[in-house]
Structure 1
Amino acid sequence: MQTNKILVFLSLIVVFVSSSFTKIQDYQKGDKFIVVLDAGHGGRDPGTMGGGYKEKDIALKVVLSIGKELEKNPDIEVIYTRKKDVFVDLYKRGQIANKANADLFISVHCNSHNSQAHGAETFVLGTHRSQTNLEIAKKENSVILYEQDYEKNYGGFDPNSPESVLSLMLGQEEYLDQSIELAGLIQNKFTRELKRNDRKVKQAGFIVLHQTVMPSVLIELGFLSHKKEGAYLNSKKGQQEMALAIKDAILKYKNNLYLNVDNQFYVQDTPNSQAVEAVLSDVTFKIQIAASSKSIETKPYNFKGLNNISKVKENKLYRYFYGETSTYSTAKNLEAEVKQAGFKTGFIVAFKNGKKISLSEALKLAAN
């Protein structure tokens, strides 16, 4: 019977994820990097009440502070699953992120325990490495019990069943590497700059992360049940510091993903008219617009609407190029196009028989 429930749950998830991908394909993403911020719990669900503090209130204040800081960046769009004290179903939180075709989903929570446990930890979706992780996931997943028709919405998922929780991982590893990278950046900010106790990056079966089709993390800011830490997280100072640390980690992740590399091949001399107009059969010019340690789909929505994007892996970096031409004059026009699109540091790169050469060498060939 339990197996049948899991199979039904998985089939519903497949339908859900497939429909989400369909919507994403139909949605033409704009120029902005989209971050969905999720304040855990809310409304009739207070979350943990450790130390007399309410998790739902602290999570919301931190999320609003993160969003306020991120919104100072014109190329970032922030979407909230809630901006006030209301209850939002877990599956709807994922739907919000998927419909927005978000680049990141970040869920913020607080912890509690009947011991002196303290410190920050950041979770990605995965199998439980310990009983402690399982219990944390079960506690957060039990939020669905506040929802109407939760058995229907989650295909009979039982938050208290280890089998149900483990079933979440099947087929959900596509964004794991990026999620772990973001989680690591967040933990580094917490521990190295704020000197919070480091409870590491961990994996557990959080259903709210399972609902999303993008890199996603769940942050446990700390333990409200710990007298000193609870007071810190309930303070304006503590909330602002944690929010700034998360904001900085998001920006670093974004910069790592789209890392533009300085041009090593610019020539200072203006090429003569013969070189500008010459057509070279074995030399092509492209415009490098970005480089990244991660492989990114060469779709227009990832590159500010530009088509004709190509990708080359060079050592540990993926380099992204716009256009291709055999004349330098056309290459200059392509360079102007990428700068108008927003890639202000885009530059011309030359290739001879598929191998990169210096721009000065290419122009000398054109002049001969």
Structure 2
Amino acid sequence: MQSQQKHKNIIKSKIIFLLLFILVCNSVSIYAQKEYVVVLDAGHGGKDPGNLGNGYKEKNIALKVALKVGEKLKQRKDVKILFTRNKDVFIDLWKRGDIANHAKADLFVSIHCDSHTSNAYGAGTFVLGLRGNKKNLEIAKRENAAILLEDNYQDKYKGFDPNSAESVIGLSLLQEENLDKSLAIASLIQNNFTFKLKRNNRKVKQDNFQVLRETIMPSVLIELGFLTNKKEGRFLNSNSGQTKMANEIADAIYNYIKNLKLNTVIEDVTTINSASEIEFKVQVASGKNRIATKSYNFKGLKNIERIQLGSFYKYYYGNTSSYSSAEKSMKIAKSKGYKTAFIIALKNGKKISIQDALKRP
């Protein structure tokens, strides 16, 4: 009798273990199947050729590179690619951002080519920000000039003049809470150009590109190089050059997505290393502005923590040693409008990956 009962208990334990195993696998599977929506924006198009350095057309090169990036990323099951244009047509700047916003995209990448009166060369990547310097301002003004070709642009942009320094400088920074992620993907792209392709490094910079201002997700604008430089223009106009640049952009985007996975992976039945050592927080915003941590400044969220890192301030909500509690805090933050809020983990005050924080001891 005891033997039979023992046998039943063993079977019962195995069933419980199997159910838990299925639950965990389903949880991980659901996460693994999440599609990351990436919107690729080929600059200019149609009646707007972009710059015509050495007789090359920026709109054609940008489109070919964007299509190649999309072609490579479509091979990934967890990535969904959308294009603002896949042929030679003119798309309003506001519409490009609108496409990404309606698709609830995780990332927006706008592709362009640069020009200059000198023999300048090299690739650069931009994120939305306040005016950096006169040189960056001129680039922003050139790319924003496409606004003048749009119908009723005065109404859409409420008096914005792309040729006015005051208008460019006066644009508000609407993406501060996305800035960290924008800088992360921009750095990955720029490093690939610099170290893998040996392109001249024009670095990651911030400026007020209207096409980035229209989006509500992490966004970057890439200047592949200068068509006005004969050697670089020839490289960018070639199929080989376009393929090389596209491959590095696609590789950077996928590495960015993999990093996002590491920071948000779901583990329902893991044990925290040590509650006294590990803490979780929800980052709701970041930027250069020092804001008082009052609830009215954070849509009603209380107990906001502000930490200064260099010239930036980061704002955190829901400090806890429990990952499940952190998830609840993140849901609250997102319900308040912080759609890009994410969880970070710290061990003894140092940031670590969520994956490492959730490992069994």
1:110 paired with 2:113, answer yes
The list of structure 1 runs, each at least 4 consecutive aligned residues, that deviate by more than 6 angstroms after superposition, is none
Does the residue aligned with 2:177 lie in a helix, a strand or coil?
A: coil
Identity between Structure 1 and Structure 2 (%): 55
Distance 1:161 1:72, change over 3 A: same
Give the equivalent residue in structure 1 for 2:90: 87
How far the C-alpha of 1:244 sits from its partner, in A, is: 0.2
Gapped regions of structure 1 (runs ≥ 5): 1-29, 263-283, 303-309, 321-346, 350-355, 359-368
SS at match of 2:354: strand
2:219: which partner in 1? 216
Contact 1:257/1:293, CA 8 A, preserved across alignment? no
2:258 maps to which of 242, 255, 260: 255
Partner of 1:366: none
**CA separation of 1:313/1:117 partners in 2, compared to 1, >3 Å: closer, same or farther?**
same
**Helix, strand or coil: the match of 1:115?**
coil
Q: Give 1:338's aligned residue.
A: none
User: What is the alpha-carbon distance in structure 2 between the residues aligned to residue 357 and residue 235 of structure 1?
Assistant: 51
Shift of 1:311: 5.6
Q: Give, in whole Å, the separation in 2 of the partners of 1:32 and 1:162.
A: 40
Question: Aligned equivalents of 2:143 and 2:119: distance in 1?
Answer: 20
Partners of 1:115 and 1:260 in 2: CA distance: 43
Q: Which digits, 9 at most, give the CA deviation of each residue in 1:122-175, with x for residues without a partner?
A: 011112221110000000001010000000011111111222212223443111
Matches within 5 A, 1:232-247: 232-247=235-250
Check whether the contact 1:106–1:216 (CA below 8 A) recurs between aligned residues: yes
Which residue pairs with 1:275 in the alignment?
A: none
Given residue 319 of structure 1, which amino acid in structure 2 is its aligned partner? I
Q: For 1:233 and 1:220, locate their aligned partners in 2 and report how far apart those are by CA, in whole Å.
A: 11
TM-score normalised according to structure 1 size: 0.67
SS at match of 2:118: coil
| Residue from 307, 314, 317 that aligns with 2:346 | 314
- Separation of aligned partners in 2, 1:142 and 1:61: 22
SS in 1 for 2:220: strand
When the two chains are superposed, the root-mean-square deviation of aligned CA atoms in Å is 3.1
Whether the aligned pair in 1 keeps the contact of 2:271 and 2:360 (CA below 8 Å) is no
Per-residue Cα deviation, 1:226-280 (whole angstroms, up to 9, x for no partner): 0110000000000000000000110111111111799xxxxxxxxxxxxxxxxxx
Aligned equivalent of 1:207: 210
CA distance in 1: counterparts of 2:281 and 2:70, whole angstroms: 26
Distance 2:162 2:36 in 1: 33
8 Å contact from structure 2 (residues 56, 237) kept in 1: yes
Question: Structure 2, unaligned stretches of length 5 or more?
Answer: 1-32, 273-279, 285-326, 335-341
Against the structure 1 CA distance between its residues 170 and 192, is the aligned structure 2 distance closer, same or farther, given a 3 Å change threshold? Answer: closer
Say whether residues 1:151 and 2:154 are aligned partners: yes
Residues 1:141 and 2:173 aligned together: no
Cα deviations by residue, 1:284-319 (Å, 9 ceiling, x for unpaired): 94489xxx999597459x9xxxxxxx9672331353
Equivalent residue for 2:188, pick from 182, 185, 204: 185
Q: State the distance in 1 between where 2:100 and 2:152 align.
A: 22
* CA distance, structure 2, for counterparts of residue 98 and residue 287 of structure 1: 37
Choose which of 116, 128, 134 in structure 2 pairs with 1:131.
Answer: 134
